[in-house]
Amino acid sequence: MMRVSVGNVQNLLFEVLRREGVDEYSSSAVSKGLTHASLRGVDSHGIRLFRHYLAALNAGRVNGRPKFSFSKSSPSTSTLDADHAFGHAAGMKAVEETIQLAKASGLGAVSVQHSTHFGAASFFGLEIARNDMIGLSFTHSDPLIAPTGGKKAYLGNNPVCFTAPCDGEQPICLDMATSTITFNEVLRLRGEGLSAPFGSGFDRDGRETADPNEIVSLSPVGGYKGYGLSLMVEVLCALLSSAPFGPNIGHMYNDPLDSKRNLGHFFLAINIEKFVKTASFKHRLKQLVTELRQQERVDLDKPVFVAGDPEKVTSEERREKGLPVNSDDKEFFQKLATRHDLPFHVLD
Amino acid sequence: MMRVSVGNVQNLLFEVLRREGVDEYSSSAVSKGLTHASLRGVDSHGIRLFRHYLAALNAGRVNGRPKFSFSKSSPSTSTLDADHAFGHAAGMKAVEETIQLAKASGLGAVSVQHSTHFGAASFFGLEIARNDMIGLSFTHSDPLIAPTGGKKAYLGNNPVCFTAPCDGEQPICLDMATSTITFNEVLRLRGEGLSAPFGSGFDRDGRETADPNEIVSLSPVGGYKGYGLSLMVEVLCALLSSAPFGPNIGHMYNDPLDSKRNLGHFFLAINIEKFVKTASFKHRLKQLVTELRQQERVDLDKPVFVAGDPEKVTSEERREKGLPVNSDDKEFFQKLATRHDLPFHVLD
């Protein structure tokens, strides 16, 4: 696998967007957001999406120069009409407001409407936690989960993201899809001719199958519980924002690229200082995660992690060694760099 | 299985508590809360707990005449020192304040400290939803979940409860423990000499086992994801309230009954009207759940449910036929009724 430096690729994405007429705020949010996900090892939501994002921009689905419009409805709540911006830009704009609301009134929540794919939910949750608040970040997504007992995918594997600041390290971060595996993983298994773990997906008749070619919907984590969590996220993202719900949203890949997605997101910040001293909270969270990491191990060579630990390990490694790119993406980035006369170096 | 009418048993619990010196607010909250859980079929958190609650009251763990003290710290946040009240009373008091905060400022959150077992999280979440708001209700609990890769239970199977009001029916309600099965279920399987579903629990070495006698910790839903959700709830309940965390809380059964539990809870209300018209929200939620229920079924005789549907079915049935009681509990209730000269009738 070839690698490229984080700074190099983030700069490339930013400059390409700028030259495609995207405003500075959006270019910055998208280039940071995609790089953020790749750095943490969440490649499905990382720089490989840039090709799709550019295509969606050029086809008119995404608005590179959005007029953001907030309606503040109470001391702690606001709605953002994102004007079909890149989801990363819409989300980051909303999160800045969420933090301001919580600073002033203890809690802040922003509902986002008319948005698009926002990448990894952690990008927004972690921004809240870096401001010494507890963050929650949600989006709905393409239908991949069938209701328990139903045959057809209806809800997305809508992510639940929770973050909290911690002494002496990056915030803890749970960023989980509500399915046991992702559809990208199913595609990978198909490509490599491998079986899926039994119980990770259903065929068109709603029966569990290990054949990735037969999988049309994903198993929610814990069965009806994961389905319930998906429904919770759908209610927060679609019903508080007047966005379409379930299979009625605009689909990422299956709809024409000039069609709007009209996605909704929901962000919540809890101002820790309004409950306990922030310093004491962070100190006690450090104690809690330290006790968890020091638990006696089942296998001596497998560490006990806390939510976000694997991503911290990967971040450190990739910051040093660079982000992996496959040859297709490398070629794509190389072409963009050449076309716009921008630097792009493969590290090895 | 014998049955008793809902009204009869709720009245019995209320009157017994009053005669034991418990104040009216607490007596009402506990009798309603336990009956609520039994009515919905959540027997583990229902009237069978009354015996334990009375013992905890008499031993001094629980304060039947608490002085509730709120510290409102911002327009949307408050902390309740529950003075070791019954958790049902502490929780209901906190929820009333949560609703008031959200009415005034869009969102409301109350952190509860110095509390005890609060029963089913749905009791509080549904109260919020009946006030036309989205409700979230959390508590931490006795350690039952080991961190992924660890041998020993550290976090509780801390419940996540989400509620939302819906047109023409009771609110939808997800109230899920973060373990795949409950420890009460493990005890039942032990008692009946049955196997546990493989993958539902771990032995003392942290290995999956189907022998309920060997199970010392429960599998979190979706592995590390359920563990992450448990950690989220622990942070909200223990760290925002200055309560002890993980295995450091007072244990329900394993500690002497005169020891305080010092539990924390966390409640959040989202005022729907600050985002969209409440009537439109409820109408659209009805559409969403109706579409889900009408999905093509895997098995024709197994309906597609939405979070809270099974409990709605059970509630309707039990409201008509009465709550089931086993012979031990029946005898206990009968004795209480005789001692206090209160009515108690077994229906069949």
Confidence at residue B199, expressed as pLDDT on a 0 to 100 scale: 86
- The reported pLDDT for the residue numbered B185 is 87
Inspect the interface and report whether the beta carbons of A162 and B228 lie closer than 8 Å.
Answer: yes
pLDDT digits (tens, 9 = 90+) for B191-211: 889 999 988 999 999 999 999
- Which pLDDT score, from 0 to 100, does residue B255 have? 87
User: Which of the four pLDDT bands, split at 50, 70 and 90, describes residue A158?
Assistant: very high
Arithmetic mean of pLDDT, A15-39: 98
Query: What's the confidence (pLDDT) of residue B1?
Result: 81
Contact B151 A297 (CB under 8 A): yes
Report CB contact under 8 Å: B285, A174: no
A-B C-beta contacts closer than 8 Å:
241
Which one of A70, A78, A152, A232 makes the best mutation probe of the B interface by having the most chain B beta carbons within 10 Å? A232
In this predicted structure, what is the pLDDT of residue A295? 97
For an interface test with A, give the residue of B239, B249, B309 to mutate (most A CBs within 10 A). Answer: B239
Chain A residues within 8 A of B280 when measuring between CB atoms: 242
Give the residue-averaged pLDDT of B13-31.
98
Residue B328 has pLDDT above 80, yes or no: yes
Distance from CA of A73 to the nearest CA of B (A): 5
**pLDDT computed for residue A328 by the predictor:** 93
- Tell me which residue in A74, A174, A271 faces B74 most closely, judged by beta carbons: A271
Residue B348: pLDDT above 80?
Answer: no
Distance CA A106, CA B269 (A): 13
Report CB contact under 8 Å: A240, B272.
Answer: yes
Task: Assess whether pLDDT exceeds 90 at residue A22.
Answer: yes
Which chain A residues are within 8 Å of B77, Cβ to Cβ?
A: 106-107, 271, 274-275
Instruction: Identify the closest residue of chain A to B112 by CA–CA distance.
Output: A275
For tokens 């600041």, the residue is A165
Cβ-based neighbours of B96, under 8 Å, separated by 6 or more = none
Closest CA in chain A for residue B79? A275
Average pLDDT over residues A175-204: 92
CB contact under 8 A, A295 and B150: yes
Confidence (pLDDT) at A252: 86
pLDDT value for A260: 92
Q: Give the integer Cα–Cα distance in Å for A236 and B281.
A: 11
Angstrom distance (rounded) from CA A125 to CA A129: 6
- Residue to mutate among A73, A80, A218, A239, with most B CBs inside 10 A, is A239
* Distance between CA atoms of residues A97 and A100, nearest Å: 5
Would you state the pLDDT for residue B243? Answer: 95
3-state secondary structure chain A: CEEECHHHHHHHHHHHHHHCCCCHHHHHHHHHHHHHHHHCCCHHHCHHHHHHHHHHHHHCCCECCCCCEEEEEECCEEEEECCCECHHHHHHHHHHHHHHHHHHHCEEEEEEEEECCCCCCHHHHHHHHHCCEEEEEEECCCEEECCCCECCCCEECCCEEEEEEECCEEEEEEEECCECCCHHHHHHHHHHCCCCCCCCEECCCCCECCCCCCCCEECECCCHHHHHHHHHHHHHHHHCCCCCCHHHCCCCCCCCCCCCCCEEEEEEEEEHHHCCCHHHHHHHHHHHHHHHHCCCECCCCCCCCCCCHHHHHHHHHHHHHCEEECHHHHHHHHHHHHHHCCCCCECC
Band of residue A322 on the pLDDT scale cut at 50, 70, 90 = very high
Residue A83: pLDDT above 90? yes
Of residues A134, A147, A305, nearest to B295 (C-beta): A147
Closest chain B residue to the Cα of A206, Cα to Cα: B298
Nearest CA in chain B to A113: B275
- pLDDT band of residue A188 (cuts 50, 70, 90) is confident
Lowest-confidence range among A191-195, A309-313, B238-242?
Answer: A191-195
Q: What is the pLDDT of residue A185?
A: 87
Q: What is the mean predicted confidence (pLDDT) over B31-44?
A: 96
Instruction: Please give the mean pLDDT across all residues of chain B.
Output: 96
Q: Which among B309, B74, B104, B171 is positioned nearest to A104, based on CA atoms?
A: B74
Copy the structure tokens of residue A238. Answer: 């679609």
Mutation choice for B interface testing from A132, A225, A227, A311 by most B CBs within 10 A: A225
Question: Mutate which of A70, A270, A297, A309 to test chain B, going by most B C-beta atoms within 10 A?
Answer: A270
First vs last Cα of chain A: how many Å apart?
A: 8
- C-beta of residue B304 within 8 angstroms of C-beta of residue A217: no
pLDDT at B250: 84
pLDDT of residue A123: 98
Quick one: closest CA in B to A153, which residue? B295
A-chain residues near B74 (CB < 8 A):
105-107, 271, 274
Q: Which of B150, B242, B281 minimises the CB distance to A239?
A: B281
Do B240 and A281 count as a contact with CB atoms less than 8 A apart?
yes
Residues 6+ away with beta carbon under 8 Å from B64: B17, B20, B21, B22, B23, B26, B57, B86
| pLDDT, position A198 | 86
Percent of chain A with pLDDT over 90: 93
Average pLDDT of chain A to the nearest whole number: 96
Quote the pLDDT of residue B251: 86
Question: What mean pLDDT do residues B270-278 have?
Answer: 98
Mean pLDDT of B292-312: 97
Mean pLDDT throughout B69-75? 96
**Closest Cα in chain B, distance from residue A162 (Å):** 7
What is the token pair recorded at B39? 């009515």
Return the residue of B nearest to A234 by Cα.
B288
Domains belonging to chain A, first-starting first, are 66-278 (3.30.1370.60)
Nearest CB to A151: which of B134, B149, B298?
A: B298
Q: Is the pLDDT of residue A348 over 80?
A: no
Give every CB contact of residue B250 below 8 A, 6+ residues apart in sequence. Answer: B61, B244, B259, B260, B261, B262, B263
Residues from chain B contacting residue A205 (CB–CB below 8 Å) = 298
Nearest to B295 among A154, A276, A291 (CB): A154
Query: Which chain A positions have a beta carbon within 8 Å of B149's beta carbon?
Result: 297-299, 302-305
Over residues B300-308, the mean pLDDT reads: 97
Cβ within 8 Å, pair B106-A73:
yes
pLDDT mean over B29-58? 96
Q: For residue B239, which residues of chain A lie inside 8 Å, CB to CB?
A: 164, 276, 281, 284-285, 288
Rounded to 5 degrees, what angle do the CA atoms B67, B235, A117 make?
130
CB contact under 8 A, A275 and B240: yes
Question: Is B148 in Cβ contact with A229 (below 8 Å)?
Answer: no
Contact A242, B275 (CB under 8 A): no
Q: What is the pTM of this model?
A: 0.97
Query: How high is the pLDDT of residue A118?
Result: 97
According to the model, what pLDDT value does residue A315 have? 98
pLDDT at B238: 98
Copy the structure tokens of residue A58: 């050029």
A-chain CB neighbours of B235 within 8 Å are 134, 162, 164, 172, 285, 288
Are B151 and A296 an interchain contact pair (Cβ–Cβ within 8 Å)? yes
pLDDT digits (tens, 9 = 90+) for B80-103: 999 999 999 999 999 999 999 999
Contact B75 A76 (CB under 8 A): yes
Interface contact flag, A276 B240, Cβ < 8 Å: yes
Query: Residue B280: is its pLDDT beyond 90?
Result: yes
Is there a contact between A246 and B288 if contact means CB atoms under 8 Å apart? Answer: yes
Closest Cβ–Cβ partner in B147, B274, B292 for A304: B147
Give me the half-sphere count of Cα atoms (radius 13 Å) on the Cβ side of residue B162.
19
Q: Which residues of A touch B236 (CB under 8 A)?
A: 134
What is the pLDDT at residue A264? 98
Q: Are A275 and B73 a contacting pair at CB < 8 A?
A: yes
Chain B residues in contact with A172 by the CB 8 A cut-off are: 231, 235
ipTM, interface predicted TM-score of the complex: 0.97
Which pLDDT score is estimated for B19?
97
Write out pLDDT tens, residues A222-257.
999 999 999 999 999 999 999 999 999 888 888 899
Whole-number Å distance between alpha carbons of A344 and A5: 9
In tens, the pLDDT along A101-131 reads 999 999 999 999 999 999 999 999 999 999 9
- Percent of chain B exceeding pLDDT 90 equals 93
Cβ(A229)–Cβ(A28) below 8 Å: no
Structural contact between residues A85 and A115, judged by C-beta atoms closer than 8 angstroms:
yes
